Structure 1
Amino acid sequence: MNFKNLFIGFIALLTIACKDNTKENQQSTQPNLIFFLADDQDVYDYGCYGNEKVNTAAVDQLAREGMLFNNAFTAQAICAPSRSQLLSGKYPVKNGCFANHTSAKPDLISATKHLRKLGYEVVLAGKSHVKPSTVFDWDKEWEPVPKEGVPRDYIPLDSIENYFKNSKKPFCMLIASKYPHSTYFKVENANADEIKFFPFNDDKKNDQEFINKKAGYYKSIEEDGKQLEKVLQYVDTYLNENTFFIYSADHGVSGKFTVKDIGLKVPFVVRWPNVIKAGSIANQLIHYTDVLPTFLDIAGGKATADMDGKSFLPILKGEDIEINKYVYGVRTNQNILNSEVFPSRMIRDKQYKYIRNFNSLEVVEQNLTGKPNVDYFIKRGAEHFKNEPFEELYDLQKDPFEQQNLAKNPDYKEVKERLIKDLFVWMKDQGDFLNNQIGNMPLITSKGNKGFKLDKDTPRRKIPDSIKNTLKEENYLIIKHW
């Protein structure tokens, strides 16, 4: 045989072997688990969810290659509570993080410990926004990295690529982007024709400031797509096909801090070659609390009895079965810059949604305590949300954008009563500090009076001098673990 040809053949075989070894770094049958989480993006702002005016090519590709969920939800349209339930399998009040920038309960067992027991390395790449570190104790953690010419830090792409290339054991990685969360790209003189409008923002078609901001938001979405595209390239280059990949966004920006679907309904697209049928669609209700139980199921473990979520692995394998009869929502307006006392709870099935706004103007007089400094803030909260009624009921099949409140329609009395009953059963199980008795309207803060205070100014909320610093620790419901 010609020595030159033999040498070329040897080099070719060596190259193939090296490439195969790269993809077969792990010999385990346990799949890699990757969750890519965008930040503050509406489910309505994706090509695969029907918005042809925004560029989401990488997510659309995932949908073609995997499964798109039409009814996926978070329980809270705010960063820290959304992420805490994702990593714990428990709804916000139960896991303890139901106000932004607060901690989960210190005895909570999160995804890190559950998956570590099953032989996984658990990694965070990007934005955290969850605490305490004793609960969310990552094996590896890489911070977002600065990048010139863009408004937000990038995910640590170099660290992600290097990890994929050299991984030797099954891993679970949360890749948490800071996009498209504001600040957005600056766009001047944008065209309204380039923006898709919906019933909840249709009145903004002639608002140039809104249009410019929306165009910048679209550009930030496109920038996040570049990050996702890179990550998918790394997955396809370095990892074998036994890799389960989820894309989602933590909540919608248009409904942030609310319990409307524009805040709680999330994009949710998954890919798992040889398991999930390409181009499939799931319409069953799933929830962020279901993610950890599903990960555990896939990894060979089981969800614990105290978790709220359930595994949706059967749906991934092609079974169209009910995972949840209901999903639930929580609203806590305290501990944000526009902080007001206006808590809400929500229950939703596939057709109907019921919302109770516990400090509505309709009932605020019954919520007063007789203490002027406390009652000032209770009244202020009700007046700030003066257009939101005590009860809301929507038929989501007829009215998906929740424009027609049916709460006082006698034709829906039985539906409303059923949802009210089941909502308060769930709230009791969660250990909620609210109940079905009007007149229970606590102000919340943290132990030692160190937390966010209602009687102090913020950059977005001013308090009259006469009422500043008048609230004492005994005026609050103290959340001890915050």
Structure 2
Amino acid sequence: MPGGKWTTYDIGVRSACIMKWPKPYNNKFVTNAITQYCDILPTLIEAAGGEVPSNLDGKSLIPLLKENNTKHREYAYFLYNNTKEGPDYKMRAVTDGKFKLIWNKSQNNLYAIRVINGFDFGYVDKMEDRHVRKMYLSWLAKAGYDEDASKIVQRYRKHPDFELYNLNDDPEEMVNLIDKQEFNAKVNELKNALMAHMKKQEDSFYTIN
């Protein structure tokens, strides 16, 4: 859906993980602990009795499973780099489970995905009835007479430098809190965490101007 895949919004990056284990990992519990896909490999290595290499980005989930922990990571990180989807666009994001900070590195460029709004930059899709583009076109049609629809279209096409969302109160990430002074400390915390992660990953876009 537009605003899902090819973004760093939760609808495009968040997923549940269901795990079934033989004894002694047969605890039945649910946790909202923050994990990432890179945690799966070290988990399988440890579960098989191997030694997890220290240079892996992931952290084994075995302690989480054994101890029914509610915490695994302090933050989760996300990125988006378009390739041939449209104008150059880079997104980076971090969440502590409650708040998410999104950094739109290419905020001066039009955000466009070929199969959704490629016609915004001249791309001609060979599949005329692609459902994701039809969704976007329905927004455009309504934007001509509906202010809310017009705002959504503009929000999709152009993103601010930074976005901050309270995922508990605003799970659809529609209310950007970045300019609210009461969240300045949280913004700085998340910016610092994101920059540290990007530097560690040797991400060439880690410097905030």
TM-score by length of 2: 0.72
Cross-structure match for 1:186: none
Structure 1 counterpart of 2:185, from 414, 418, 425: 414
Partner of 1:360: 107
Match of 2:43 in 1: 294
| Residues 333 and 339 in structure 1, CA contact (< 8 A), matched pair in contact too | yes
**Structure 1 portions without partners, runs of 5+:** 1-200, 202-252, 365-379, 439-482
Q: Does 1:424 align with 2:195?
A: yes
What displacement does 1:329 show? 0.3
Shift of 1:413: 0.5
List structure 1 runs of 4+ shifted beyond 6 angstroms.
none
Residues 286, 360 of structure 1: alpha-carbon distance in 2 compared, 3 angstrom cutoff: same
* Distance in 2, Cα, partners of 1:322 & 1:300: 23
Task: Confirm whether residue 276 of structure 1 aligns to residue 23 of structure 2.
Answer: no
SS across alignment from 1:355: strand
Mapped contact 2:31–2:70 kept (Cα < 8 A): no
Residue 347 of structure 1 and its aligned partner are, at CA, apart by: 0.7
Structure-to-structure mapping, 1:218-237, within 5 angstroms: none
Where relative contact order (Cα < 8 A, 6+ residues apart) is larger, the structure is 1
TM-score by length of 1: 0.32
Shift of 1:437: 3.9
Match of residue 171 from structure 2: 400
CA contact (8 A) 2:101 2:162 kept: yes
Which of the numbers 146, 158, 161 marks the counterpart of 1:387? 158
2:8 maps to 259
Are the counterparts in 1 of residues 3 and 9 from structure 2 also a CA contact under 8 Å? no
- On the 8 A contact 1:424/1:435 being kept in 2, the answer is yes
Secondary structure (helix, strand or coil) at the match of 1:323 reads coil
CA drift at 1:422: 1.3
Q: Percent identity?
A: 29
Does 2:82 align with 1:311? no
The residue aligned with 2:115 is: none
Q: Structure 1 CA distance, aligned partners of 2:64 and 2:15?
A: 18
- The amino acid that maps onto 1:359 is S
Structure 1 residue 304 displacement after superposition: 1.6
Distance of aligned partners of 1:281 and 1:343 in 2 relative to their CA distance in 1, 3 Å threshold: same
Displacement of 1:384: 10
Q: Structure 1 residue 324: deviation in Å? A: 0.8
Instruction: For residues 394-439 of structure 1, give each alpha carbon's deviation from its aligned partner in whole angstroms, at most 9, with x where no partner exists.
Output: 111111221111011111000001111111111011000102244x
Structure 1 or 2: larger strand share? 1
Q: Which runs of 5+ in 2 are unaligned?
A: 110-120, 122-153
Shift of the alpha carbon at 1:321? 4.7
Q: 1-side partners of 2:177 and 2:11: how far apart?
A: 18
Instruction: State the Cα deviation string for residues 163-187 of structure 1 (Å, max 9, x = none).
Output: xxxxxxxxxxxxxxxxxxxxxxxxx
Quote the Cα distance in structure 1 between the aligned partners of 2:50 and 2:80: 32
Q: Equivalents in 1 of 2:162, 2:194: separation in Å?
A: 13
Quote the residue 1:347 is aligned against: 94
Residue 3 of structure 2 contacts residue 156 of structure 2 at CA under 8 Å; is this kept in 1? no
Alignment check: 8 A CA contact 2:103 2:163 kept: yes
DSSP-derived class of the 1:350 partner: coil
Query: Relative to 1, partners in 2 of residues 1:255 and 1:271: Cα closer, same or farther, differing over 3 Å?
Result: same
- The count of corresponding residues between Structure 1 and Structure 2 is 165
Q: Does the residue aligned with 1:281 lie in a helix, a strand or coil?
A: coil
**Equivalent residue for 1:333, pick from 82, 106, 112:** 82
Mapped to 1, the partners of 2:183 and 2:52 lie a distance apart of: 36
Q: Which secondary structure does the structure 2 equivalent of 1:262 belong to?
A: helix
